[in-house]
């Protein structure tokens, strides 16, 4: 891997030595994420320090903002880093300072029982254990971020791909594609994706890449449905105008879909997935549910329909990132249209305000420190 | 396949020609299954007529009896046939009159889109479409039964296996083993089976055969737990005495189980399965649920635990039956202890009474016309 | 399924009643396939009689012609039927006379142990047992063809697809796609396809549909490589100009490919597949080998490379055909460019001459009775 | 994990500080492995130093001895360590000095692209890259051994299991079971294992645990066939007395086996596997081949039999070891009978002599430093 020359910045070390701090977006309390200053972290043997060049805000960050997903007050948020290697821990090999890299939102260790068993997202055997950045350790809505278990998680960016091109890899592309993969989509399948927010749109792209030949997508926002069609949907359904369950059953001659992907996390979308799913089909669930989730027993054939319900967090690790960047490098998909807005890190509070309120047709925001 | 000589009976044809009818157990109305007389059926080109030599009553038949699972009044019930071929349709080849055979509870056609896609239980693309005997067509609690799509469904019994040895193959063995298989149990897995009725016991046997090295089983009846241990359980838990969730989490050092099999069909057992399941594990569901089924979102990690929920009806078809009989023929398992009672078809109403009320430690009843 | 009106032809029955025969292409002896007359067949209970509207010649037919693959002298050859239902056996339901249908080259029964176990191509437990048309029973290079086990094999053609659009489904599309599927290609994989004849080209299309993001293809004919690029290849290699093994290893930084598809059936292509395959990768073999086939132990890591070699005949049955037609109907792929020549059945001997000698850039020939 | 008290030894550190060396078995040149002295190694940040308490000699070591598998002269051989943790690298957490552990013969890093993709044995993307001990770095036929990437590879031994009980886990049990697993054995399968040396015997055990209901085993040594039967074989065939291919085809009514496991690495055994394998079946290959390996095209159906050939090195990593020890702890299998001889490390040259010449019915030798 060759060293990538980058525009001159004072190094993290120089800034630390000069007693300087860095800007970070911190969860203060429910309802408030604020820009603050923190010391620039120092690397342990298995870490890498990245200078963040681009990052973004995730729907999960909004759950954190609203206090719906609890994190420790004072935590730096953000889990979608694009950056440049500033410092490498003593045990990390094969990388160079200055290399452009991404890391997944999920940063598995690769060496615990769960990881060695292929369940990297649940690292350490704990539910969501692989999700550390912006959850259990400081995240990347910051000038610098420490990547844990860097050996397993730093993925070099091909030279000809820009930051914005790969910005979706760490989370929404991996999650959305994961939904298609967990659905075990086969060539010739009919698929539906309920909700066409950023993750649902990526699920649509993933379903097409995996061989689905008829893709229904469902949302209420015309611009999202239009983006959905642009990214691969064959039939878009606005649930404010049409009953999507009836429409899909009719369009499939009563057969239903082979795979139904849930990309929102609500009772109605989950339930609709089951109602359009053929016996023997797979409900691939990506949503984060809250409150109560009930299985409609009629659609579920009382448990006798040979249905499978698969949930997927967000596959991480550098091999996953490499594969996703392959998709972009080969131009099999182009996710740049998802970046609808751009903000400076200094203005991240405004970015949160825009994103949390879904104003101005926002899909994803590129944030640059 | 050699012809098996059997004790002399008047043939179905002779009896039909003589204007005789046959005894059958008929669903009359909720609360009543009664012995009645019906004409002996004639075979269509794809059918076979079996003289039933042994059959049994299933938990599902009790649902029918109670009106919880609706079937047409007048339908002959029963879906677990062991018998002898009396007549073969014109399009059925490779069999001989007089052969001892079984057919699965599920009788797939093998030739529809669902079957050709490997989803035989959902034959015809309809939920539970493969379940015809005693559901949508006359069943086998009768002197004779018509097997549809006989070419795909008649499975010759190895000579040295008795009727009672193979009596569990058509339904509970196939279902219970299916639960282990859908859980994708691997060598070295820790597994729990909630409920040790006949299907749960078969799931325990299947889990052991599939390589589970630690099997917890849960029930409230000491005799079922004892049978469970005899058939392969390592740790039995009486939920009236112990909280099984706490006990399993403690015994696994908080890790939980790799696969949790639900074999009853209730909210508490389904929920407990999720509560003891490790992130990334499989909940393999065999139960028939009624009322309402809710996913406990804490145990389900809000949908982010990489959990899979798989449901399994009951794999059918003659290849499945052949494989299950292999298990018995090789003495890898012996399910004869499950037959705790024996009745004549004439006395089937008494058998239903015993079985529906779970009296006298009953597990399965052999019914012989 | 609605009845499709077709131009008026005398029916098979009328022609049979009038004592007329039909034109068929018959294997006479090695080196000779000739147009002859045969009686129009009558249907058994599980058969359907098709009036062939379009068919084609397969590379396998050339093996038959040359005596390299033995069939009985007098057999009608051809296994890629597009046609119209003329007559239906008594046991076949759900179809109508006059419907446009295809059947796969492989016509599984769906009801034997192998089929019920999902190994339809090896129907009856015999190697290649599912390949009957033009192999063990009369084929479809004829005015009429009998389709065995019609219930499992007749696949209605969507109205808006022409004969030539679906002409590749019965064999080369199913085979080529099968190569991609047996390779278990995942999104982001690097794949090579050795040989870009009709099957190799379909494997290229299948690899792309399954998510491969970098596809190398290898052949010696510039026009095939050009077609390959048009159908999805990212890098084409002419092995007369370049050592493909060296080129692929260099282009992948020594890593090799994830899946190597062999689509010719020779020692050099098979061996090259292993030489570019990464440890843990899959060699998906489609070729028909003759003579001797040796595993290069260095590339095979002496058997310790966790390699998999998977062979695929040609998935058949009406569900497979439905899925392949989905691909065409959704315009995910267009295989019409593969039809480079057209002949009348009367001129089939000339068509064989052209195809056997690979003249005039021929890829596939549409033959119309 | 509690600290296990062990009999008092001078620590590695004390011995190093005292300028003492340690005894090791070294590959000198083809034909000679000799006991020598080497410095006691010091740990890097990701390493652990084990005091070896028991180890054994593998068939692969004999290939090394004979010069058939090249390693660097001066290398310490041996890759099956049972021992006690003496020292831990700075980056290794969650273990204690004094803990009893094993490590697999294959010691994957868990953090490279191959490992993160699930291909741990081919760590680093190099064929057999995960096999380091006694291959590319010093092995464990020594008083002390350095375990690389200790975090991923140290597997604590349950207290009640002895060294000899777990001695087979690092290599032959993992390899043999891997053969069964790569064969995707299902409940009810018929399986053959060709060769019943230590790995073949473990494959037999693994096949039984995975659900095979009829297991044929083939060897020429009566004591191995007897051991085979004791460990799970249903039918043993001495190929000096019987043609195993003919015998198996006859016993299966011409059907053949579902899975054929090759556990020797020769043309005749590989070829016989294919000759008894049903179409659609899996040849699971464990042998190390030398010279030339040819595919018998008749048995291979010229590449059209939907056969799969899967090769397996030897799954490693601590999660694998944990699972294998589960099998022993649960008494699902007992591999102690495989230890037929015991030697002191001082006498290892004699042990090699015995093992290389397969004298005295030797299966495995426990070597204790």
Which helix H or strand E contains D16, and what residues bound it? Answer: helix D12-17
Mutating which of A158, A213, A278 best tests the C interface, going by the most C Cβ atoms within 10 A?
A: A213
- In chain A, % helix, strand, coil (3-state, to 5) comes to 30, 25, 45
Kindly state the percentage of chain D with pLDDT values over 70.
98
Residues C159 and C43 in one domain: yes
- Our count of domains for chain B comes to 2
Contacts of A122 in chain B (CB under 8 A): 278-280, 305-306
Residues A221 and A75 in one domain: no
Contacts of B91 in chain C (CB under 8 A): 45-46, 91
D327 located within any domain: no
* Residue B6 confidence (pLDDT) above 90: no
Helices (H), chain C: 12-17, 59-65, 113-116, 150-153, 163-166, 174-182, 198-209, 222-231, 244-251, 267-276, 318-329, 348-356
**pLDDT bucket at B309, cuts 50 / 70 / 90:** very high
Question: What three-state secondary structure class fits C309?
Answer: strand
* Contact assignment for D279 to C114 by CB distance below 8 Å: yes
Mutating which of D94, D109, D110 best tests the A interface, going by the most A Cβ atoms within 10 A?
A: D110
What tens digit of pLDDT does each residue of A309-325 get?
A: 999 999 999 999 999 99
> pLDDT at position B7, please?
54
Residues A63 and A145 in one domain: yes
> pLDDT at position A7, please?
55
Residues C163 and C20 in one domain: yes
Structure tokens at D34: 């000799």
* Residue D303 confidence (pLDDT) above 50: yes
What tens digit of pLDDT does each residue of C5-45 get?
A: 455 678 999 999 999 999 999 999 999 999 999 999 999 99
| Average pLDDT of the segment spanning C113-121 | 98
**pLDDT bucket at B9, cuts 50 / 70 / 90:** confident
Please report the ipTM that was assigned to this predicted complex.
0.96
C200 located within any domain: yes
**Given a contact as 3+ CB pairs under 8 Å, which chains touch B?**
A, C, D
**pLDDT bucket at B291, cuts 50 / 70 / 90:** confident
Cβ within 8 Å of D, B 165-194: 177, 180-181, 186-190
Q: Are strands C235-238 and C214-219 parallel, antiparallel or unpaired?
A: parallel
* Residue B162 confidence (pLDDT) above 70: yes
* Residue D8 confidence (pLDDT) above 90: no
What tens digit of pLDDT does each residue of B168-224 get?
A: 999 999 999 999 999 999 999 999 999 999 999 999 999 999 999 999 999 999 999
Question: What three-state secondary structure class fits D244?
Answer: helix
A328 located within any domain: no
* Contact assignment for C323 to A181 by CB distance below 8 Å: no
C318 located within any domain: no
Residues C103 and C249 in one domain: no
> pLDDT at position A185, please?
98
* Residue D146 confidence (pLDDT) above 70: yes
The distance of B145 to chain C (nearest Cα, Å) reads 20
Contacts of A111 in chain D (CB under 8 A): 109-111, 149, 151-152
Contacts of B326 in chain D (CB under 8 A): 188, 190, 213-214
> pLDDT at position C9, please?
77
Domain boundary among A270, A296, A311: A311
Q: Three-class SS string for chain B? A: CCCCCCCCCCCHHHHHHCCCEEEEEEEEECCEEEEEEEECCCCCCCCEEEEEEEEECCHHHHHHHCCCCCCCCCCECCCCCEEEEEEECCCCCCCCCCCEEECCCECCCCCCHHHHCCCHHHHHHCCCCCECECCCECCCCECEEEECCHHHHCEECCCCCCHHHHCCHHHHHHHHHHHHHHCCCCCCCEEEEECCCHHHHHHHHHHHHCCCCEEEEEECCHHHHHHHHHHCCCEEEECCCCCHHHHHHHHCCCCCEEEEEECCCCHHHHHHHHHHEEEEEEEEECCCCCCCEEECCCCCHHHCCCCEEEECCCCCCHHHHHHHHHHHHCCCCCCHHHEEEEEEHHHHHHHHHHHHCCCCCCCEEEEEC
The distance of B125 to chain A (nearest Cα, Å) reads 7
C4 located within any domain: no
The distance of A185 to chain C (nearest Cα, Å) reads 9
What mean pLDDT is reported for chain D?
Answer: 96
As a whole number of angstroms, the distance between CA C61 and CA C170 comes to: 14
D328 located within any domain: no
Residues D77 and D205 in one domain: no
> pLDDT at position C148, please?
98
What tens digit of pLDDT does each residue of A327-360 get?
A: 999 999 999 999 999 999 999 999 999 999 999 9
As a whole number of angstroms, the distance between CA C64 and CA C72 comes to: 10
Question: Residue C161: which of B111, A213, A231 has the closest Cα?
Answer: A213
D1 located within any domain: no
* Residue B3 confidence (pLDDT) above 80: no
**Given a contact as 3+ CB pairs under 8 Å, which chains touch A?**
B, C, D
Residues A160 and A180 in one domain: no
Mean pLDDT lowest among B7-11, B53-57, D40-44, D287-291: B7-11
> pLDDT at position A9, please?
77
> pLDDT at position D9, please?
77
Structure tokens at C352: 């064989």
Residues D72 and D137 in one domain: yes
Say yes or no: C129 contacts chain B, CB-CB below 8 A. Answer: no
**pLDDT bucket at C2, cuts 50 / 70 / 90:** very low
Contacts of A184 in chain B (CB under 8 A): none
* Residue B1 confidence (pLDDT) above 70: no
> pLDDT at position C291, please?
86
* Residue D13 confidence (pLDDT) above 50: yes
What tens digit of pLDDT does each residue of C132-175 get?
A: 999 999 999 999 999 999 999 999 999 999 999 999 999 999 99
Q: Which domain holds residue D305?
A: 173-311
Residues A20 and A161 in one domain: yes
Domain boundary among B265, B295, B311: B311
C-alpha B325 chain-centroid distance? 14
Residues B86 and B121 in one domain: yes
The distance of C347 to chain A (nearest Cα, Å) reads 36
Q: What's the CATH number where C248 sits?
A: 3.40.50.720
Say yes or no: C203 contacts chain A, CB-CB below 8 A. Answer: no
As a whole number of angstroms, the distance between CA A3 and CA B273 comes to: 51
* Contact assignment for B332 to D213 by CB distance below 8 Å: yes
Contacts of B312 in chain A (CB under 8 A): 306
> pLDDT at position C4, please?
46
Mutating which of A303, A307, A314, A316 best tests the B interface, going by the most B Cβ atoms within 10 A?
A: A303
Contacts of D319 in chain A (CB under 8 A): 113-114, 116-117
Say yes or no: D211 contacts chain B, CB-CB below 8 A. Answer: yes
What tens digit of pLDDT does each residue of D18-53 get?
A: 999 999 999 999 999 999 999 999 999 999 999 999
Structure tokens at C146: 């009998």
Say yes or no: C329 contacts chain A, CB-CB below 8 A. Answer: yes
Say yes or no: A117 contacts chain B, CB-CB below 8 A. Answer: yes
Residues C149 and C43 in one domain: yes
What tens digit of pLDDT does each residue of A225-267 get?
A: 999 999 999 999 999 999 999 999 999 999 999 999 999 999 9
* Residue C198 confidence (pLDDT) above 60: yes
Q: What's the CATH number where A125 sits?
A: 3.90.180.10
A290 located within any domain: yes
Residues B24 and B159 in one domain: yes
């Amino acid at each position: 891997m060759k060293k990538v020359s980058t525009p001159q910045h004072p190094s993290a070390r120089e800034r630390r030595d000069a007693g300087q701090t860095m800007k970070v977006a911190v969860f203060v309390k429910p309802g408030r994420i604020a820009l603050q200053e923190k010391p620039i972290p120092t690397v342990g043997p298995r870490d890498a320090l990245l200078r963040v060049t681009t990052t973004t805000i995730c729907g999960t960050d909004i759950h954190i903002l609203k206090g719906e997903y609890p994190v420790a007050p004072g935590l730096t948020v953000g889990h979608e880093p694009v950056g440049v290697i500033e410092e490498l821990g003593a045990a990390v090999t094969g990388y160079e300072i200055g290399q452009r890299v991404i890391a997944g939102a999920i940063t598995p260790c690769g060496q615990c029982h769960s990881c060695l068993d292929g369940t990297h997202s649940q690292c350490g055997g704990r539910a969501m254990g692989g999700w550390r950045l912006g959850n259990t350790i400081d995240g990347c809505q910051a000038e610098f971020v420490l990547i844990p278990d860097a050996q397993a998680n730093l993925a070099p960016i091909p030279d000809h791909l820009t930051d914005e091109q790969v910005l979706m890899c760490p989370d929404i592309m991996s999650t959305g594609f994961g939904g298609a993969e967990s659905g075990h989509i086969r060539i010739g399948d009919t698929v539906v994706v309920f909700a066409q927010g950023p993750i649902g749109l990526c699920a649509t792209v993933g379903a097409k890449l995996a061989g689905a030949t008829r893709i229904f997508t469902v949302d209420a926002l015309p611009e999202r449905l239009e983006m959905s069609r642009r990214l691969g949907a064959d039939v878009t359904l606005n649930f404010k105008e049409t009953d999507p369950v009836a429409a899909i059953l009719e369009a499939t001659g009563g057969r239903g879909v082979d795979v139904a992907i849930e990309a929102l996390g609500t009772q109605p979308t989950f339930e609709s997935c089951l109602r359009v799913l053929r016996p023997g089909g797979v409900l691939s669930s990506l949503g984060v549910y809250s409150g109560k989730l009930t299985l409609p027993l009629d659609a579920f054939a009382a448990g006798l329909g040979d249905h499978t319900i698969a949930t997927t967090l967000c596959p991480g690790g550098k091999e996953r990132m490499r594969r996703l960047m392959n998709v972009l490098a080969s131009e099999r998909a182009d996710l740049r249209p998802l970046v609808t807005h751009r903000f400076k890190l200094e203005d991240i509070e405004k970015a949160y305000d825009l994103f949390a309120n879904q104003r101005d047709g926002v899909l994803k925001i590129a944030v640059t420190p």
